[in-house]
């Protein structure tokens, strides 16, 4: 039953990615390797948690794969800035262009507190600041 639910969830998620790739991506952090974006139009709140999408746009193909970009669906507790990565979607084009080349969903996502000096902390903080002011 769990596998059927997971499969259904993956199918549902992959059918919605094309609309997400044309979102209002806001650049948050630029590094030598990756540009990090978040999309204020695709933020959802529920049960005290915030659900958002981050986009990592690589300047060159990712060393781990042949991807040029990746979207991450993130669950965040804005009170503690703890987050869980729920889904990873890789693309062979920049800015999540084209069809997804790979989708990964962790069976048991880990709660992470990103250090303040990391791009992921800044993304998380910007999303929570946006939620708290709107």
61: confidence class by pLDDT, cuts 50, 70, 90? confident
Q: State which CATH number among 1.10.10.60, 2.60.40.2130, 2.60.60.20, 2.40.128.710 fits the domain covering 2-133.
A: 2.40.128.710
pLDDT of 16 > 60? The answer is no
Q: Is the pLDDT at 17 greater than 50, yes or no?
A: no
- Residue 43 DSSP SS3: coil
Tell me, what's the pLDDT at 18?
A: 44
Instruction: Report whether pLDDT(14) > 60.
Output: no
* pLDDT for residue 22 is more than 80: no
Pick from 132, 114, 133: which is nearest to 54 by CA?
Answer: 114
Q: What is the pLDDT of residue 66?
A: 82
pLDDT band, residue 8 (cuts 50/70/90): very low
The whole-number average pLDDT for the span 77-103 is 96
By CB atoms closer than 10 A (0-12, 13-18, 19+), residue 64 is exposed
Helices (H), 1-134: 2-20, 119-133
């Amino acid at each position: 039953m769990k596998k059927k639910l997971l499969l259904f969830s993956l199918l549902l998620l992959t059918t919605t990615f094309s609309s997400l790739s044309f979102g209002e991506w806001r650049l948050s952090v630029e590094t030598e390797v990756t540009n990090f974006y978040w999309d204020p139009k695709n933020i959802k709140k529920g049960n005290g948690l915030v659900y958002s999408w981050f986009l990592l746009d690589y300047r060159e193909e990712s060393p781990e794969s042949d991807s040029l970009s990746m979207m991450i669906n993130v669950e965040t507790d804005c009170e503690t800035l703890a987050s869980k990565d729920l889904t990873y979607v890789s693309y062979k084009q920049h800015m999540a262009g084209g069809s997804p080349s790979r989708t990964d969903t962790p069976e048991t996502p880990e709660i992470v507190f990103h250090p303040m000096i990391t791009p992921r902390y800044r993304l998380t903080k910007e999303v929570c600041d946006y939620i708290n002011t709107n």
